[in-house]
Amino acid sequence: MNPSNMNAKYPHHCLAFILTAASVVFSSNCYALNPIIQTIYTADPAPMVHDGVCYLYVDHDENKLVNNFFTMKDWRCFTSTDMVNWTDHGVVASLHNFKWAASGWGGGFENGAWALQTIERDGKWYMYCPLQGRGIGVLVSTKGPFGPFTDPIGKPLIGAKYDSIDPTVFIDDDGQAYLCWGNPRCWYVKLNQDMISYDTSSGDHGLVVQDMTVEAFGKRSKEDPKRPTSYEEGPWLYKRNKLYYLFFAGGPISEHLGYSTGSSPTGPWKYGGVVLPAEGRSFTDHPGVVDYKGHTYLFYHNGALPGGGGFHRSVCVDEMKFNPDGSIVQMTMTKEGAAPVATLNPYQRVEAETIAWESGVKTAKNANVGVYVTGINDGDYIKVCSVDFGDTGAAKFMASVAGTTEGGAIELRLDDPAGKLIGTLNVKATGSPDKWETQSCDVNGAKGVHNLVLKFTGGNGPLFNFDWWKFEYPTIEK
């Protein structure tokens, strides 16, 4: 996706999603599939909603581990307007954004980009980033949710000695902002209006530790004198009606997700119970909760992708339900994920990196087109859910492609990889992997709401790169 194509203040206006009439009936198989990102390992989800778009910030588990431990160098962002298709915007910040991260425990610039959260205030975007063993830093963007981000203070906002991992940021209805974090204790500060400093009038120069009581956070299932409660890490502040929620990852390992409620963002807290029991192949978990289009969603991570585990995690999402008294209906991890809250309009440009499920492909980013799909081989595919072709149906398919290899093709199939074939684009070589051309083919039989599968076929080795696609209506004869 090329940022130069964006013609509004925020880039979400260029996303190729549209909510059609409320009367649309979604197909029974038009659900997201967990994990929702499959091109890389992702963890510690931090969703936020702004101007009708759900932004999902994540950290990134590298494929190759260093010292058989968490190996994490950057933070990334994905977006959706339907909760089933997610558009990859690539790296939005990394350890290199913090000059003070060059040395210290955690491997300098090479490791330690842990669980972040981002928030918008007064047209600026603030990203709170823990750097393994070095404290919590803050980055600011004045250009939008994808950056560029800069470090306004040139040092940690929260020092390393204050259990400084897993920050959550929250702005209350009265405008007061809070930052909460910590393992094994849960801390908070009241942020100043500038969002890059905090009130120093209470606690340890402004840093306050929560009362770590069993009443507040529940009793630990395995007795530990240093950790009497079930609270482990990963706090997440949320408000519904007049009740405040503090979600957290609970111990002992393997972690579950629990919650407490209170009358203010700083408590006092009352333990509410388990939201999501420990499941999957990851020994950690991290909650992210957001309201979107009339629904509440819990984001979490597990080790469900091939090769997944405690150091190779993947983000998932499911809808969360509440009882009349505000308590939460206990959930389980699902493969189906969330139901769509909108349909995708295929007659607008859709970025190729907009994916509900994929097999085999990867994404990359360059200065020419931004993020694009690459690593395409014979038999790979991309599935996009809840595509509304309308009653008239499509007559033509267009795609922006680049590559030096002849013989590759994009088969357009409905619903699944072996579904009805509605057209085939035989991709012609463009002369270079970064020389982009728009190529097209005829389409027949695409009507109504379906999943769309873009299935790639061809010879051995990488076939071509893929930037965007769209359909066209039939030409009306005058």
Rounded CA-CA distance 155/462 in Å is 44
* 388 is a catalytic site residue: no
Catalytic residue of the set 82, 120, 166, 232: 232
Distance of CA 218 to the CA centre of its chain: 29
Q: What is the DSSP letter of 138?
A: E
SS3 content of the chain, % helix, strand, coil (to 5): 5, 45, 50
Exposed e or buried b per residue across 30-69, where buried means at least 16 C-beta atoms within 10 angstroms of its C-beta: bbbbbbbbbbbbbbbbbbbebeebbbbbbbbbbeeeeeee
Are the beta carbons of 337 and 36 closer than 8 angstroms? yes
Q: Cis peptide leading into 167, omega within 30 of 0?
A: no
**Structure-block tokens of residue 162:** 């204050």
* 279 is a catalytic site residue: no
| Residues labelled catalytic | 44, 232
